Amino acid sequence: MVAVAILAAGKGTRMKSGLPKVLHQLGGRSLVEWVIRSIEPLPISHTFVIVGYQAESVQIALQDYPHLTFVQQQQQLGTGHAVQQVMPYLEGFEGELLVLNGDVPLLRTETLEQLLETHRTESNQATLLTAQAPDPQGYGRVFCDSNNRLTQIIEHRDCTPAQRQNHRINAGVYCFSWPALAQALPRLTSANDQQEYYLTDVVNHLSPITALDVEDFHETLGINDRRQLAEAYEVLQTRIKDRWMMAGVTLIDPDSITLDDAVDLGADVVIEPQTHLRGRTAIGAGCRIGPNSLIENSQVGAGSTVLYSVLTDSQVGEQCRVGPFAHLRGEAQVGDRCRVGNFVEIKKSQVGDRSNVAHLSYLGDATLGQAVNVGAGTITANYDGVHKHPTVIGDGTKVGANSVLVAPLTVGSGVTIAAGSTITEDVPDGALALGRSRQVVKPDWTPRSIQPPTP
Ligand code: UD1
Ligand code: CA
């Protein structure tokens, strides 16, 4: 049986942030969420998350993971003190405890499996994940004897200059035999530079301990400041992009593109430069997205193009052309084979199949049938200053250019609205509606300003 403790109680002083460190975002998930996801495929009996600084916001951020047990660490007296907090929960537990730092987000599940396996085959009391870090600044250094038996872990700040030459770092990822750790935890003291109870000091009370070097040191990146957050983001982006390119997606100028982890891309999707796909975004097969587009929590059907546009919380059907310069937001739903063109904003509206809103329009709280043509410059006036009102437009209706549709309003099917109309009353099926003043022509008229002054 394996239990897990994730340390997430610290403030993260070096982030210089109002947000607890473990809630900082990395590719669409918080740091601690990454850690939780890395253990998800493992057979685990309990998962404890040690919370303290802004405990409530950490718990709220993790409410989608109902199997977690939150354990309070009222005062953050160090990583060892943090693990001491699970002792009452694990009385009589005979299995292993995996301890993970909540600020080490890039660990792979396979690495944790290897750690567990090493722990078991070597019958250790503790097994540590280590890495050879090119820049070990800030990490605890791990010292082993010639048999790879761990002798000491010394925090960077407690190291002598000579000890700092050791690039083998403690990843903050440990496997312990719980009965042995439970004996060692009460023996920790805070005799160090920070006067904290260091988890790493338990190694002085356990034996045997070995260290397992992870091949890719990026997995062990700990996030203590915003530079490390940016470094981890870069590593994550490379992983995500490599995965999609291997799955048959073309990225043109990958360095200028960012993809969140939850994004899903179909076969033969082409992503053009300066495009950013965020959250739960899904792009259907054969789409061409970008250049210069931002798509967030939105779905785009197969064979569509999105050019220089912003889509948030919206859906676009198949074979559509969106942009350049369209903005879809707040549950905009566009059907199949539609055109949403230049300088068009659509908010909380449904647009039926084969409808076009091609130029300079705003649709808000509107429901359009199929094959509707919305002329250039058409606006739904949905807001009376207090409430938002709906507009309904039936199939095959043509709205003339530069019309204002004052909601609440229902326009039937097969209607024609004359260009330049302000429509305030419902229009039945098949009608022509004009809502503008008749043109006046005054022949032979000279503007007053250029008439000769009267003497
Ligand atoms: C720790 C390790 C260091 C290792 C590094 C790897 C110790 C003493 N040092 O250092 O050897 O190289 O991680 O990234 O463990 N936390 C609590 N309660 C506390 C203190 C911290 O829950 O009282 C949590 C933090 O929220 C964080 C994690 O523990 O998620 C690690 O704490 P941090 O202060 O970042 O430790 P490091 O100095 O990075
Ligand atoms: Ca850290």
Residue 338 confidence (pLDDT): 98
Cβ atoms 297, 315 nearer than 8 A: no
Instruction: Say if ligand 1 is within 6 A of residue 73 CB.
Output: yes
Residue nearest to atom 16 of ligand 1 (CA): 10
CB-ligand 1 contact for 101 (6 Å cutoff): yes
pLDDT in tens, 27-80: 999 999 999 999 999 999 999 999 999 999 999 999 999 999 999 999 999 999
Determine the pLDDT at residue 308. Answer: 98
Nearest atom in ligand 1 to the alpha carbon of residue 32 is: 30
Model pLDDT for residues 335-362, shown as the tens digit of each residue:
999 999 999 999 999 999 999 999 999 9
- Cβ–ligand 1 distance for 20 under 6 Å, the answer no
Cα 115 → chain centroid: 29
Which residue from 79, 188, 195 has its CB within 8 A of the most atoms of ligand 1, so it is best to mutate? 79
Q: Is residue 451's pLDDT more than 80?
A: no
Per-residue pLDDT reduced to its tens digit, 167-212: 999 999 999 999 999 999 999 999 998 999 999 999 999 999 999 9
Residue 454 has pLDDT above 80, yes or no: no
Pocket lining: 219 vs ligand 1, CB cutoff 6 Å = no
The pLDDT of residue 237 is above 80: yes
Name the active-site residue from 156, 167, 205, 359.
359
Residue 359 catalytic? yes
| Bridge partners for 132 per DSSP | 168
Query: Whose alpha carbon is nearest atom 3 of ligand 1?
Result: 140
User: Residue 162 — very low, low, confident or very high, per pLDDT cuts 50/70/90?
Assistant: very high
Q: Which tens digits make up the pLDDT trace of 365-377? A: 999 999 999 999 9
Q: How far is the CA of 216 from the centre of ligand 2 (A)?
A: 18
pLDDT band at 148 (very low <50, low <70, confident <90, very high): confident
Confirm if 330 and 313 have CB atoms less than 8 A apart.
yes
Atom of ligand 1 nearest to the CA of 171: 6
448 pLDDT band, cuts 50/70/90, is: confident
**Residue 447, pLDDT score:** 82
Residue 449 has pLDDT above 90, yes or no: no
Task: List C-alpha distances in Å: 148 to 128, 151, 165, 208.
Answer: 11, 9, 18, 10
Average pLDDT of the residues in 255-275: 98
Index of the ligand 1 atom closest to the CA of residue 73: 18
Over residues 400-408, mean pLDDT: 98
Residue nearest ligand 1's atom 35 by CA: 224
Answer for the pair 222, 172: CB distance below 8 angstroms, yes or no: yes
**For position 16, what pLDDT does the model report?**
98
Closest Cα to atom 9, ligand 1: which residue? 140
Q: How confident is the model at residue 144 (pLDDT cuts 50, 70, 90)?
A: very high
| Residue 452 scores a pLDDT above 80 | no
| pLDDT 10s digits, 295-340 | 999 999 999 999 999 999 999 999 999 999 999 999 999 999 999 9
Helix axes 109-121, 31-39, angle to 10 degrees: 50
Judged against a pLDDT cut of 80, whether residue 453 lies above it is answered with no
Ligand nearest the Cα of residue 8 is 1
Strand partners, 69: 48
For atom 8 of ligand 1, the residue with the nearest CA is 198
The verdict on the CB of residue 198 being under 6 Å from ligand 1 is yes
> Which H, E and C letters describe the chain, residue by residue?
CEEEEEEECCCCHHHCCCCCHHHCEECCEEHHHHHHHHHCCCCCCEEEEEECCCHHHHHHHCCCCCCEEEEECCCCCCHHHHHHCCHHHHCCCCCEEEEEECCCCCCCHHHHHHHHHHHHHCCCCEEEEEEECCCCCCCCEEEECCCCEEEEEECHHHCCCCHHHCCEEEEEEEEEEHHHHHHHHHHCCCCCCCCCCCHHHHHHHCCCEEEEECCCHHHHCCCCCHHHHHHHHHHHHHHHHHHHHHCCCEECCHHHCEECCCCEECCCCEECCCCEEECCCEECCCCEECCCCEEECCEECCCCEECCCEEECCEECCCCEECCCEEEECCCEECCCCEEEECEEEECCEECCCCEEEECCEEECEEECCCCEECCCCEEECECCCCECCEEECCCCEECCCCEEECCEEECCCCEECCCCEECCCECCCCEECCCCCCCCCCCCCCHHHCCCCC
Whether 238 has a pLDDT exceeding 80, the answer reads yes
**For the residues 248-260, what does the mean pLDDT come to?**
98
Mean pLDDT for all residues in the chain: 97
Distance CA 202, CA 186 (A): 9
Give the pLDDT band (50/70/90) at residue 455: confident
Ligand 1 pocket residue status of 223, Cβ below 6 Å: no
The number of the ligand 1 atom at minimal distance from the alpha carbon of 21 is 26
Angle at the Cα of 79 from the Cα atoms of 74 and 85, rounded to 5 degrees: 45
Q: Which residues of 193-224 are buried (b: 16+ CB within 10 A; e: fewer)?
A: eeebbbbbbbbebbeebbbbbbeebbbbbbbb
